[in-house]
């Protein structure tokens, strides 16, 4: 049986990691009233109040004044007549009054994935630098994406870099432009829409321009259902297809990707990163995640080359249902390949010529063993080996106990299951059973390093650790497992 080695590395949620978010107040009059109150203060009173805010919160944020200014700008956008005579400090005070601290990890830190770092410079031979992504959950059960970095050397010694308390949230790129062709391609997946409305937009536009134009164009057609449906579809599409920029000067562990769209306002869940090699040899990172707005879910695909700027795109098509999708690290027979979980209980596989459109799906694995009788799912993208594609799975059994196992798929035809372990590879120890969600071990990705496979994993959604296994041992156990 494959030996599972739990390393001494263990880390949990840190409620001290806070970001300076905009304080949304209900009612259009609230910001106006705060402006009026601040306008009545003398300049000396304003200076004292701002100095006090800086004293209380300055050490908790790297760029506090920048957050105040950003939130001031957002606030005045809601006003019909923004103040024109506010001094620089009065502006910052208004921004401070419309700022709230949000603890990104106050509830949980869990479900990691792991990929090689794009920067492998300055390392000893045989050492690999990696990036670990994590799902952080805070107030209101809103999930965001955080990162940790570390190295693993030739002997298999893993070092996780220290992470300080600072967190810097990402910013949506409001200057991003879209083309009519981009929107038209996706509008086909929204029923009962009228492409004529799209033709009235310019060839290229940004989100704010599109919003203004669409509102003007539909203001005179309030009773035309097709026009209103099309307007909503286009704005929904532009909302969840966006670019986001993080602080390139901040260490990666400080960069936080917080929900930037209405369609994911309640969370970005269970990101699964994979390093992808294209046909031309170019490498980039993709990650699927589940966007949740409190009522519905969408599968989003994030792309980056440097972990500074990210492009986020929504997946469309008949096969894009449910959650838990994981992209293969390369094309297979000229097509993209994706592991998925339609229906909530089976592992499925999909192929497509278009990375963002998936229409065909087939069942790959159904529950067979007692420990997966409730449901099956993937634990991230497959790893390529000489023997086949290694795929980690999660199984749910009685009393919602989650375990992790593995299967082997054919290299050229991954719809063929070559073998599956008859027992769990990883299960929750007694010391790992208690937490935010009890009796769960879970991961969203693993790392190949020589004969070593590195598996970061979450324990009952309350702490994370790292497990290592021998790739050759695991392959041997799979290839000698009883045939099903």
pLDDT digits (tens, 9 = 90+) for 299-352: 999 999 999 999 999 999 999 988 899 999 999 999 999 999 888 899 999 999
Output the pLDDT for position 322. 85
- For 222-262, write each residue's pLDDT tens digit: 668 888 899 999 999 999 999 999 999 999 999 999 999 99
Q: Tell which residue, 122, 385, 425, 66, has the closest CA to residue 247.
A: 66
- Split at pLDDT 50, 70, 90, the class of 287 is very high
Output the pLDDT for position 221. 62
Output the pLDDT for position 222. 63
Output the pLDDT for position 365. 97
Paired tokens of 223: 């009773």
The CA–CA distances, whole Å, from 126 to 119, 123, 156 equal 14, 8, 10
Output the pLDDT for position 27. 81
Per-residue pLDDT for 116 more than 90?
yes
The mean pLDDT of 23-47, rounded to a whole number, is 95
How much is the mean pLDDT over the chain? Answer: 95
Paired tokens of 138: 């805070």
Lowest mean pLDDT, pick from 114-118, 176-180, 208-212, 342-346: 342-346
pTM: 0.95
The mean pLDDT of 261-285, rounded to a whole number, is 96
Output the pLDDT for position 223. 65
Output the pLDDT for position 225. 85
Output the pLDDT for position 195. 86
Per-residue pLDDT for 471 more than 70?
yes
The mean pLDDT of 138-143, rounded to a whole number, is 95
Output the pLDDT for position 71. 96
Output the pLDDT for position 219. 81
φ, ψ of residue 27 to 5 degrees: the values are 100, 130
Per-residue pLDDT for 52 more than 90?
yes
- Split at pLDDT 50, 70, 90, the class of 97 is very high
The CA–CA distances, whole Å, from 316 to 150, 204, 284 equal 35, 22, 21
**Are 275 and 118 contacting, i.e. CB atoms less than 8 angstroms apart?**
no
The mean pLDDT of 419-430, rounded to a whole number, is 97
The mean pLDDT of 54-70, rounded to a whole number, is 96
Lowest mean pLDDT, pick from 85-99, 208-222, 306-320, 359-373: 208-222
Output the pLDDT for position 321. 87
Of all residues in the chain, what percent carry a pLDDT higher than 70? 99
Output the pLDDT for position 344. 83
């Amino acid at each position: 049986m494959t030996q599972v080695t739990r390393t001494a590395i263990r880390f949990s949620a840190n409620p001290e990691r806070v970001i300076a978010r905009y304080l949304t107040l209900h009612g259009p009059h609230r910001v106006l009233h705060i402006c009026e109150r601040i306008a009545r203060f003398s300049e000396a009173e304003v200076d004292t109040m701002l100095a006090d805010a800086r004293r209380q919160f300055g050490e908790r944020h790297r760029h506090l004044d920048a957050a105040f200014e950003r939130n001031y700008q957002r606030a005045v956008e809601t006003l019909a007549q923004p103040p024109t005579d506010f001094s620089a400090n009065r502006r910052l005070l208004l921004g401070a009054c419309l700022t709230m601290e949000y603890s990104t990890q106050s509830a949980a830190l869990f479900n990691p994935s792991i990929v090689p770092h794009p920067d492998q410079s300055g390392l000893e031979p045989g050492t690999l630098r990696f990036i670990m992504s994590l799902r952080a959950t805070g107030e209101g059960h809103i999930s965001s994406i955080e990162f940790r970095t570390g190295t693993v050397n030739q002997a298999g010694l893993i070092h996780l870099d220290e992470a300080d308390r600072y967190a810097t949230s990402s910013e949506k790129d409001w200057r991003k432009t879209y083309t009519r062709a981009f929107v038209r391609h996706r509008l086909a997946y929204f029923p009962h829409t009228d492409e004529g409305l799209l033709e009235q937009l310019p060839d290229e536009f940004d989100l704010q321009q599109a919003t203004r134009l669409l509102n003007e164009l539909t203001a005179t057609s309030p009773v035309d259902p097709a026009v209103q449906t099309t307007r909503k579809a286009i704005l929904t599409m532009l909302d969840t297809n966006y670019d986001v920029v993080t602080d390139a000067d901040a260490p990666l562990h400080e960069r936080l990707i917080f929900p930037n769209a209405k369609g994911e306002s309640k969370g970005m869940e269970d990101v699964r990163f994979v390093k992808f090699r294209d046909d031309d040899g170019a490498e980039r990172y993709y990650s699927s995640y589940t966007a949740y707005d409190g009522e519905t879910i969408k599968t989003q695909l994030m792309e980056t080359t440097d972990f500074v700027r990210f492009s986020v795109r929504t997946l469309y098509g008949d096969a894009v249902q449910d959650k838990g999708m994981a992209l293969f690290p390369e094309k297979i027979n000229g097509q993209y390949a994706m592991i998925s979980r339609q229906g909530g209980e089976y592992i499925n596989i999909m192929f497509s010529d278009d990375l963002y459109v998936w229409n065909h799906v087939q069942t790959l694995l159904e529950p067979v063993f007692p420990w997966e009788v409730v449901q099956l799912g993937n634990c991230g993208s497959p790893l390529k080996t000489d023997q086949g594609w290694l795929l980690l799975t999660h199984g749910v059994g009685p009393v919602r106990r989650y375990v992790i196992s593995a299967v082997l798929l054919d290299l050229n035809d991954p719809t063929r299951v070559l073998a599956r372990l008859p027992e769990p590879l990883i299960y929750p120890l007694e010391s790992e059973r208690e937490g935010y969600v009890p009796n769960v071990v879970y991961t969203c990705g693993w790392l190949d390093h020589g004969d070593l496979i590195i598996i970061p994993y979450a324990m009952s959604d309350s702490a994370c650790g790292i497990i290592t296994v021998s790739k050759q041992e695991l392959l041997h156990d799979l290839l000698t497992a009883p045939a099903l």
